[in-house]
Amino acid sequence: MEYPGCRMPRRAAPPPRGSTRLRRMLSGDKIRVLVTILAHVLGLSTMSITVAARTNIYPWLERWSESESLAGRVPPPAGYKRVATAPGTFANWLQHLPLKKGAPPVLLYNGQEKGNQDAHHAVVDIDVGPKNLQQCADAIIRFRAEYLYSRGMYDKIHFNFTSGDTAWLGRWLTGYRPEIIDNIVRWANTMEVDSSYENFRRYLEAVFTYAGSYSLSRELQRVGGVKEMRIGDVFIEGGFPGHAVIVVDMAANPETGEKVFLLAQSFMPAQDIHLLINRREPNISPWYKLEFGDFLDTPEWRFDNHDLMRFR
Taking only the tens place, the pLDDT of each residue in 39-84 is 544 443 433 334 445 568 999 999 999 999 999 999 999 999 999 9
| Averaged pLDDT of the chain | 87
At 13 the pLDDT is 34
Mean pLDDT of 189-200: 96
Is pLDDT above 90 for 201? yes
Q: How confident is the model at residue 182 (pLDDT cuts 50, 70, 90)?
A: confident
Share of the chain above pLDDT 90, in %: 79
pLDDT of 113 above 90: yes
What pLDDT is stored for residue 33 in this prediction? Answer: 52
Half-sphere exposure of residue 164: CA atoms within 13 angstroms, side-chain side: 4
User: What's the pLDDT score for residue 78?
Assistant: 97
Check residue 120 and give its pLDDT.
98
Q: For the segment 219-271, what is each residue's pLDDT rounded down to a tens digit?
A: 999 999 999 999 999 999 999 999 999 999 999 999 999 999 999 999 999 99
Q: What is the pLDDT averaged over residues 136-162?
A: 97
Q: Give every CB contact of residue 312 below 8 A, 6+ residues apart in sequence.
A: 219, 220, 221
CB 281 within 8 A of CB 293: no
On the question of pLDDT at 273 being above 80, the answer is yes
In terms of DSSP bridges, do strands 166-168 and 295-298 run parallel, antiparallel, or are they unpaired? unpaired
pLDDT at position 175 is: 97
**pTM attached to this predicted model:** 0.85
pLDDT grade for 141, boundaries at 50, 70 and 90: very high
pLDDT computed for residue 20 by the predictor: 34
Q: Is the peptide bond before 241 cis (omega within 30 degrees of 0)?
A: yes
Residues 6+ away with beta carbon under 8 Å from 235: 244, 245, 246, 247, 263, 296, 303, 307, 308, 309
- Averaged pLDDT for residues 117-145: 98
Note the pLDDT of residue 53: 54
The reported pLDDT for the residue numbered 41 is 42
| Mean pLDDT, rounded, for 165-178 | 96
- The predicted pLDDT at position 204 comes to 98
**Comparing 18-32, 103-117, 155-169, which segment has the lowest mean pLDDT?**
18-32
Q: Per mean pLDDT, which range of 123-132, 144-153, 181-190, 294-303 is the poorest? A: 181-190
What's the confidence (pLDDT) of residue 97? 98
For residues 294 and 225, the answer to whether their CB atoms sit within 8 Å is: no
What 3-state class would DSSP assign to 108? strand
163 contacts: CB under 8 Å, gap ≥ 6: 9, 10, 11, 12, 185, 210, 215
% of the chain at pLDDT higher than 70: 82
Where in the chain are the domains? 2-55+153-217, 70-132+219-310
